[in-house]
Chains A and B, each alone.
Chain A
Amino acid sequence: MTPEFLIAAALVLPLIIAAGIAALGKFPNLREGVTIVGSFALLAVVVQLTMMVSAGQRPELFIGEAVPGLAFAFRLEPLGALFAVVASGLWIVNSFYSIGYMRGNRERNQTRFYICFALAICGAMGVAMSGNLFTLFVFYEVLTLSTYPLVAHKGDAAAQRGARIYLLTLLGTSIGFFLTAVMWTWALAGQNLDFVDGGLLAGAAISPVVASALLLLFVFGLGKAALMPFHFWLPNAMVAPTPVSALLHAVAVVKAGVFAVMKISVYIFGVDLMNATPSADFLIIVACVTIVLASLIAMTKDNLKARLAYSTIAQLAYVTLGALLATEAGLMGGSLQIAAHAAGKITLFMCAGAIYVATGLTNVSDMKGLGRKMPIVFIAFFVASLSIIGIPPLAGAWPKYELMQGAVDGSLDWVLAVLVISSLLNIAYLLPIPILALMPLPGTKPPKEFKRPGGAPALTVAAPAFTAALCVLLFFMITPISNFLAPAFEAPGTLIEADLP
């Protein structure tokens, strides 16, 4: 199959799935069958594309121009392939999980839910494969709009409020800053918006002041990256059903934001211009403040999903930090974090959902001793927590290591301290949850009976167990992954290969 066909398939498949779900809305089993079969097909397509990228190819698809100069163009490179594989692969796991969760919870409007989910995946694929800023922007907004009904799913006052904040923040930042930056780039780059190896703006004569302003617009305009002070939509989006929080607000949506930051750093600015841009230093400070502050806030949250949301904000800032450091190790660390954090955080959210379906509990303080009744869930939670903290042999160890390396290369030693403090804070807000659940202190009241007879549905337990195993697997797959990514950062793997076992 030609690369053009495969890219088109990756974009169209989710739409076909959405149509199929809509057509079969009256037959829940068939409807879910469409999602499952479709998600496997999508992963197969994405994997084929990834093999091509790995072989050095750059699959491209040019659809046409909306007006001369504004082209719908797609081009897959290693970073995008990584994001596409992560999103489509975890979609399969999450689909199984959704079936267990939505049925176990007897949620309403399930057809609408699955349709919007498929549309959101279409948006994520478009973002991952976009070949220019215009296409990226369009699919970025598709992702925003298609996830709005998912956040508002419950339909009560709290869900509406959360969804409104979600939509207004994301649309506001993207129209206000991101779009302005896109138009400005167009003017600066001589009417061109393509992602170019080495940076579109690399050769252009741009004053440091302009470059600074442009970078600020981009980084804050990508509100999905949840850099402070535009992070507050993420905790508010937690009113959504847990599968949405798991796949979208730990993987697809937020990663679309940081992925775009990464892509702009590498393919629009280019490493040299990034290092010559004064505001990058300021933004590094913002990212570090976000990391520490969000972790501190996470400690104060008793609601499990809220705590995980703030943890996500902190972890996303790692990727932004890596993109801003703009050293090879920093960029590598940021990219690895996209995959590693995805596997870890989706596990944590799925565990939180499983607990909620089984017991109706949402607060950490009520979960003491619960691990005895739900051992698999809490062991998975424990493993994923260790990965987020960054302890070997788990996936989260590599990105932290690379980021530290990147900070040293960029002679920003104080960033090292921030990363270490962040790890300690992670320990403080994540580990007590599984430990107290599995090994309650003497005298703890035994937890309540299950709300749902039989506990969590099997699918909602199997899915996090699977992704927890993935956290381990990713640790040992680091060599092929980093070799795959290295061409994106130009010097093919010299520094990185030397550091690896």
Chain B
Amino acid sequence: MILESLLVSAPDWAIDHAPVLIPVVPLIMAAMLALSPSGRLSWILSMVATAASFYFALLTLGTVQSTPGGIIEYWIGNWDVIGIEFRVDALNAMILLLVTGMGFLASIFAWTTIAAEVQKQKISLFLSAFLLCFAGLCGVTATGDAFNLFVFLEISSLSTYALVAMGASRDRRALTSAFDYLIMGTLGASFYIIGVGFLYAATGTLNMNELATQLPALSGNRSVQVGFAFIIVGLGLKAAMWPLHQWLPNAYAYSPSFVTMFLAATATKVALYAMIRWLFTIFNPDFAFEQAIFTFILAPLGIAAMVICSFQAVFQTDVRRMLAYSSVAQVGYIILGISIATTAGVAAGLLHLFNHALMKGALFMAIAGICINYKGTTIRDFAGLGRSAPFTMAAFAIAGLSLIGVPLTAGFISKLQLGYALFDHGWWWAVLLVVFSSFLAVLYVGRILQSIFFMPPANPRKTRKEAPLMLLVPLWILALANIYFGIDANFPAGLARDGAIAALGLEAFP
């Protein structure tokens, strides 16, 4: 309903060009920010850019939902098949909405935290890098061209390395973790481009839709199969699929808290989207080799992430590292949902992806709020915060409960959907593992919450205050979304279902 009224009020040019404007506006703004004289001005401009992207993402979603076929085809420069296409269906419209929404919320609170964590003269450049990363992620999601996806992936990755390294003013270990991430991320991107090269050699096209029409005839072709393997490993690295996740815990733990929040809510999500796109739209689960990969590679890896990384999370002492391991575990849930390759499974995975962005976004945002005037992030440092920062920590607790999957929170709905999908597929043993991993989540989230609400402060002389209002507002938007989507999940579940149908190309929902 909101979408319809937006569509009615929007000018024609905005609706026509919305898919491409989503990444282009922040891209241009990023270049302008590099010249901006004042940090505060840059912050306002970055908010304007992300808000604009969010607006265009809403328009795109509205157009997709009201178009009969559910697909927007946008040929850049009208070059037709030899040019670059932006292609948006229900699947990436959902991811675009998520990424731009989280980016917008992140940019609102950016000022309060980066003013405390980044040197003054670097703020403009920092925000410029943020917008580049944001534009790259949007581009990866919107594009319909396999090579163009690589370009946007590199735009976002390169700027991410810089952003992570900016944590060095707080903790020097940020530099090594940025370097680690650089090596691993570059490996992933190289694998991806090698894979695309193989496919280009076999088909002679880079357009995803063209690839999808040509590949079924070539499913026995060795270079197609090799290309597939390279692409999945490359994207798996970006998505932090176990055991390719080694870069993630350090990157999350040492980067500036603003960057952690933004990356946790968006970066792995976009890589997962790209994976779904390759697995289901471009390739096809009917290919014999792909079936085997679902059952014997993706499902075991997803389960391993879910169980092993939840275990690792239980034993962490640093809250950010703990939540980082939990993120890898959540990626495991999503991959498990994908690996059963049914509409219900992919829909459950997408719903969990959406909800996970909401909960991790809120958790890391609350941590950012605490870090503004207190640098420690170990569990001991969190002791007693429930009294000195009740509003920040109440939101943290809500998101934590959602992470566990407590009823009346968003996390519960997506885990339940995943469980249903697994039972429908006959994988009851996987349900037991999901449930076991949830129990581990009770343990690690419980450790933090107990410290926050029931322990006396570790160092009472350090001042610790409530986060500023500019942070509390987006934080509580996310926290309340976690509750709202736990009671009435029709909106995200509908998006996820449409997205899954778009990905698998099925008309009916079983």
A-side residues, CB < 8 A to B, are 64-68, 70, 72, 137-138, 141-142, 145, 152, 155, 160, 164, 167-168, 171-172, 175-176, 179-180, 183-184, 186-187, 191
Q: Which residues of A contact B408 (CB under 8 A)?
A: 138, 141-142
B486 an interface residue at 8 Å Cβ cutoff?
Answer: yes
A interface, by DSSP: helix, strand, loop or mixed? Answer: helix
Q: Is the CB of A152 within 8 A of B454?
A: yes
In Å, the complex CA distance between A16 and B62 comes to 39
Chosen A-B contacts, 14 in total, with CB atoms closer than 8 Å, are: A64-B488, A65-B490, A66-B489, A67-B489, A70-B416, A72-B487, A142-B408, A160-B454, A168-B446, A171-B442, A183-B420, A186-B420, A187-B423, A187-B424
Give the 8 A-B residue pairs with the shortest CB-CB distance, closest first.
A187-B423, A183-B419, A67-B493, A138-B407, A141-B407, A67-B489, A66-B489, A175-B438
Q: How far in angstroms is the closest Cβ of chain A from B40?
A: 39
- Select B417's contact among A67, A72, A179, beta carbons within 8 Å: A67
CA of A138 to CA of B443, assembled, Å: 20
Residues of B427-455 contacting chain A, CB below 8 A? 428, 431-432, 435-436, 438-439, 442-443, 446, 450, 454
Q: B486: shortest Cβ distance to chain A, in Å?
A: 7
Inter-chain contact B439/A176, CB cutoff 8 Å: yes
B405 touches A187 (CB 8 A): no
Q: Taking CB as reference atom, which chain A residue is nearest B434?
A: A180
Distance in angstroms between the alpha carbons of A152 and B446 in the assembled complex: 14
Distance in angstroms between the alpha carbons of A184 and B435 in the assembled complex: 12
A-binding residues in B (CB < 8 A): 401, 404-408, 413, 416-417, 419-420, 422-424, 428, 431-432, 435-436, 438-439, 442-443, 446, 450, 454, 486-490, 493
| Min C-beta distance of A382 to chain B, whole Å | 40
B430 → chain A closest CB, angstroms: 11
Question: For residue B408, which residue of chain A has the nearest CB?
Answer: A138
Q: A179 with B446: in contact, given A67-B490, A141-B407 (CB under 8 Å)? A: no
**Which chain A residues border B432 with CB–CB below 8 Å?**
180
B490 touching A175, Cβ below 8 Å: no
Tell me which of B435, B442, B450 contacts A180 (CB under 8 A).
Answer: B435
A155 adjacent to B454 (CB under 8 Å): yes
Q: How far is the CB of A49 from chain B (nearest CB, A)?
A: 24
A137 to B406, CA, bound (A): 10
Q: Nearest Cβ distance between residue B332 and chain A, in whole angstroms?
A: 17
The residues of B that contact A171 with a CB separation of less than 8 Å are: 404, 439, 442
**Are A67 and B428 within 8 A (Cβ)?**
no
Q: Which residues of B contact A180 (CB under 8 A)?
A: 419, 431-432, 435
- Once the chains bind, are A184 and B490 in contact (CB under 8 Å)? no
Given A64-B488, A175-B438, A180-B431: 7 more A-B contacts, CB < 8 Å: A70-B489, A142-B407, A145-B401, A179-B416, A180-B435, A183-B419, A184-B431
CB pair A66–B486 under 8 Å, yes or no, is yes
A179 & B439 in contact (Cβ 8 Å cutoff): no
Compute how far the CA of A64 lies from the CA of B420 in the bound complex, rounded to whole angstroms. Answer: 19
Which residues on the A side are within 8 Å of B435 (C-beta)? 175-176, 179-180
- B419 surroundings in chain A (CB, below 8 A): 179-180, 183
Q: Is the pair A67, B423 in contact by a Cβ cutoff of 8 Å? A: no
CB distance from B496 to the nearest CB of A (A): 9
A264 to B402, CA, bound (A): 27
